[in-house]
Amino acid sequence: MFEERVYCGDLSIDDAGKEVTISGWVDRNRDLGGIIFLEVRDVTGIMQVVFDSSKSKENAEIADKTRSEYVILVKGKIRKRAEDTINPNIPTGDIEIDADSIVILNRSKVPPFPIDTRDTINEEISLKYRFLDLRRETLKEAIIKRHLMMQAGRKYLVDRRFIEIETPVLNKSTPEGARDFIVPSRINRGQFYALPQSPQLFKQILMVSGYDRYFQIVKCFRDEDLRNDRQPEFTQIDLEMSFCTEDMVMAVIEGLLKEIVSVVPGKNITVPFERITYHESLSKYGTDAPDTRFDLELIECTDIFKRSEFKVFSTAIEKGGIVKGLAVQDKGKISRKMIDDYTDHVRIYGAGGLPMFRYKEGNFEGGISKFLSDDEKREIVKRFKLNEPSVLFFSVDNENIVNFTMANMRKKIAADLGLIDEDKLNFLWVTDFPLFEYDSEAKRFQAKHHPFTSPRTDQIDMLEEVTPENVGELKSQAYDVVLNGVEIGGGSIRISDPLVQNRIFNKLGISDEEANDKFSFLLEALKYGAPPHGGIALGLDRILMILLKRNSIRDVIPFPKTQKGQCLMSGAPSGVADIQLKELSIKIVE
RNA sequence: GGGGUGUUAGCUCAGUUUGGUUAGAGUACCUGCCUGUCACGCAGGGGGUCGCGAGUUCGAGUCUCGUACACCCCGCCA
């Protein structure tokens, strides 16, 4: 009886007169007494089925017994609805099925929340009854668009000779980067696998193996605290290419993202994307993932306040701090209360406060304006090109805090004032990342991207000359792709010369023994004719979240975890039987 | 590890400011009526450990403390 089944959403007025069989869930039951309308839902859509008791009393009685989410099978004839009964709100609203038979395939408990409305439900309930929320339109749209996006991406890459290759999930733990999830080995007592943070080493190995274009849509795992755009397991579109330049990788990704966006949400975007250097991005926006949907550029003005009478500024500068400002033409929208809130808010970024004043027709008002000299005011007008009435915000502290504070305030102010065009999709590349950064607490250099990233070829000679002071000058061949202020991917040209790789490890304070212990297979592989290669990984969940304008990565993942890393549906993680622990030689210490 | 918001009927939420009779609404659910509805309609009905635990008080959904869970953020993480 299932063989002839058709999908509700596939039926149209062209099918009028046909005998069909549909199966699905009772979305709604409208019993008018002598006539009953059932709305039947399947994965594609909804179809109205009519039961007329004067035609078949038996069928009407069965239909009458159905409740929300009962599973039924209906046979009947498609017919065009009378003009005055057409429902313009659903795609199949101009037809209906005149039922000849109905079978109740399964019954359902009363669902804890309605499936057929767009009302938002509490996320805790959504996660617990994920199997029901997945029936609802909002989540279903995300899951199906996710599928379409993956298919579009696969096709695009396959068409360009990329080969899809799987890499191991049970891996060797590497303490670099994020915290690993580890898996105990039963056969090897006291030893552990790690789940991959990314397939980095394996995809480089594949390049050495000669599969010159690899890709994989792959789960990655990081045991770090969660955020609205971070889950412990997430999906990357991962790729690697041999015989390539940065530009070639970027071109592939631009084409890939253009293709994806043409499917979800179905827009045309311009390629190539804008490019900005890491240095310029930090200078203008305070972050390496700038949101360029609105202006509000940060203006450096340390020099203006170097010898200021306003000691808050001059003292901080003396101690090596910097000052950056932001001029907002607020059209009177920024209230006293908002300013108070902002001043309070910046403390979470480590800032002491948010000095400000208003500018209007040559006058400086409020805030710190009374501490400023005429010279300083003149310079400020010039530097910020002040013309329209504006509110100016400043941050003074060490460079990191100033940038972090101003980057976040820039976004917050833009959001509060409605300056962000939500329909924009601003893709851009951030290039020329520093190769290293200096960890002043651990007193050592760290790879900004990862330790296999190639320095710029014309700067390799300065590798040994890098100091904590000039660390920013040595650039790598690393690049990030950013969408609407969110980092959606990053990659680099890799080191293919084992000697250069060793020099990098040396600089990072990774001893030969340590390098051999952790990465010997890669180092060994590089000695057997490694082609020049590079690649990138895109965060699929994040991209989809932005393209579908969802608030959280959880809204585009079928079975996400809570902030404490729990699955409210399955109850993972959970304890295990003593026998399992014993087999693994593991003891829980209270 | 830290800061913030929330938790009241199956669901979505009001009530908490200023403690005071029997805690409300919409929806869902159950029963009955109804032959063109489409969030069908009409009539009736059932449904509450106000997250949990202490405390203050004559009296706590409301105040205090603790705690659990969810979410947002800092740290952490590309």
Complex ipTM, two decimals? 0.93
> Which residues on adjacent β-strands are paired with residue A429?
A275, A481
pLDDT of A517: 84
pLDDT digit string, tens, across residues A557-588: 999 999 999 999 999 999 999 999 999 999 98
Q: Return the closest-CA partner of residue A97 out of A156, A55, A134, A136.
A: A55
Q: Are residues A243 and A298 in the same domain?
A: no
Q: Which residue is nearest to nucleotide B2 (CA to C1')?
A: A348
**Is A571's CB less than 7 Å from nucleic acid strand B?**
no
Q: Are residues A492 and A538 in the same domain?
A: yes
User: What band does A51 get if pLDDT is binned at 50, 70 and 90?
Assistant: very high
Residues lying close to strand B (Cβ under 7 A), chosen from 489-508 of chain A, are 490
In this structure, are residues A321 and A397 in contact, taking their beta carbons and an 8 Å threshold?
A: yes
Which amino acid, A555?
D
A117 pLDDT more than 80: no
Nucleotide nearest to A437 (CA to C1'): B78
Which of A397, A416, A435 marks a domain boundary? A416
CA of A259 to C1' of B45 (A): 57
Q: Which long-range contacts (C-beta less than 8 Å, at least 24 apart) are formed by A193-200?
A: A195/A169, A195/A170, A195/A171, A195/A221, A196/A167, A196/A168, A196/A169, A196/A171, A196/A220, A196/A221, A197/A221, A197/A222, A198/A236, A198/A238, A198/A537, A199/A167, A199/A238, A200/A450, A200/A452
Decide if A464 is inside a domain: no
Decide if A433 is inside a domain: no
Decide if A33 is inside a domain: yes
User: What band does A337 get if pLDDT is binned at 50, 70 and 90?
Assistant: confident
Q: Which long-range contacts (C-beta less than 8 Å, at least 24 apart) are formed by A551-558?
A: A551/A228, A552/A228, A552/A229, A553/A228, A553/A229, A553/A230, A553/A231, A553/A234, A554/A123, A554/A127, A554/A228, A554/A231, A555/A138, A555/A139, A555/A142, A556/A142, A556/A143, A556/A146, A557/A231, A557/A234, A558/A130, A558/A134, A558/A143
**Residue the block writes with tokens 């965060």:** A539
Decide if A571 is inside a domain: no
pLDDT digit string, tens, across residues A125-153: 999 999 999 999 999 999 999 999 999 99
Q: 3-state DSSP call for residue A520?
A: helix
Average pLDDT over residues A211-215: 97
Decide if A585 is inside a domain: no
Q: Are residues A77 and A164 in the same domain?
A: no
* Mean pLDDT of the residues in chain A: 95
Residues lying close to strand B (Cβ under 7 A), chosen from 73-112 of chain A, are 81-82, 84-87, 89-90, 93, 96, 110, 112
User: What band does A303 get if pLDDT is binned at 50, 70 and 90?
Assistant: very high
Q: Are residues A143 and A265 in the same domain?
A: yes
Q: Are residues A400 and A325 in the same domain?
A: yes
Residues lying close to strand B (Cβ under 7 A), chosen from 39-58 of chain A, are 39, 48, 50, 52-54
**Is A71's CB less than 7 Å from nucleic acid strand B?**
no
Domain that holds residue A55: 8-106
pLDDT digit string, tens, across residues A148-169: 999 999 999 999 999 999 999 9
* The pair of three-digit structure tokens given for residue A13, joined into one six-digit string: 């007025």
Task: Give pTM, 2 decimals.
Answer: 0.95
CATH number, residue A91:
2.40.50.140
Q: Are residues A152 and A257 in the same domain?
A: yes
Of A40-54, A104-118, A509-523, A538-552, the one with minimum mean pLDDT is: A509-523
CA of A427 to C1' of B2 (A): 35
Decide if A325 is inside a domain: yes
User: What band does A118 get if pLDDT is binned at 50, 70 and 90?
Assistant: confident
**Is A569's CB less than 7 Å from nucleic acid strand B?**
no
Angle between helical axes of A336-345 and A399-416 (0-180°, round to 10): 140
Decide if A411 is inside a domain: yes
- The nucleotides of chain B lying under 7 Å from a protein CB are 1-2, 10-13, 27-30, 33-41, 69-78
CA A291 to chain CA mean position, Å: 14
What does the alpha-carbon distance between residue A572 and residue A588 come to, in Å, rounded to a whole number?
18
pLDDT of A41: 97
CATH number, residue A375:
3.30.1360.30
User: What band does A357 get if pLDDT is binned at 50, 70 and 90?
Assistant: very high
Q: Which contiguous run of DSSP H or E holds residue A481?
A: strand A478-483
Compute the CA torsion angle A445, A449, A452, A457 (nearest 10 deg): -90
**Is A120's CB less than 7 Å from nucleic acid strand B?**
yes
pLDDT of A431: 97
Which of A375, A400, A416 marks a domain boundary? A416
pLDDT of A441: 80
In this structure, are residues A578 and A589 in contact, taking their beta carbons and an 8 Å threshold?
A: no
Q: Are residues A151 and A81 in the same domain?
A: no
pLDDT of A231: 98
Domain count, chain A: 3
> Which residues on adjacent β-strands are paired with residue A77?
A19, A98
Nucleotide nearest to A111 (CA to C1'): B10
**Is A446's CB less than 7 Å from nucleic acid strand B?**
no
pLDDT digit string, tens, across residues A173-187: 887 789 999 999 999
Decide if A278 is inside a domain: no
User: What band does A36 get if pLDDT is binned at 50, 70 and 90?
Assistant: very high
Q: Are residues A322 and A218 in the same domain?
A: no
CATH number, residue A207:
3.30.930.10
Q: Are residues A237 and A310 in the same domain?
A: no
Q: Are residues A143 and A255 in the same domain?
A: yes
Q: Are residues A245 and A298 in the same domain?
A: no
Nucleotide nearest to A178 (CA to C1'): B77
pLDDT digit string, tens, across residues A245-262: 999 999 999 999 999 999
Which of A371, A395, A416 marks a domain boundary? A416
* The pair of three-digit structure tokens given for residue A303, joined into one six-digit string: 């020099």
**Is A223's CB less than 7 Å from nucleic acid strand B?**
no
The percent of residues above 70 in pLDDT, for chain A, comes to 100
User: What band does A1 get if pLDDT is binned at 50, 70 and 90?
Assistant: confident
Q: 3-state DSSP call for residue A283?
A: helix
User: What band does A413 get if pLDDT is binned at 50, 70 and 90?
Assistant: very high
Nucleotide nearest to A37 (CA to C1'): B37
Residues lying close to strand B (Cβ under 7 A), chosen from 328-387 of chain A, are 348-350
> Which residues on adjacent β-strands are paired with residue A478?
A492
**Is A117's CB less than 7 Å from nucleic acid strand B?**
yes
pLDDT of A440: 81
Q: Are residues A263 and A361 in the same domain?
A: no
Average pLDDT over residues A223-246: 97
Residues lying close to strand B (Cβ under 7 A), chosen from 381-420 of chain A, are 404, 408
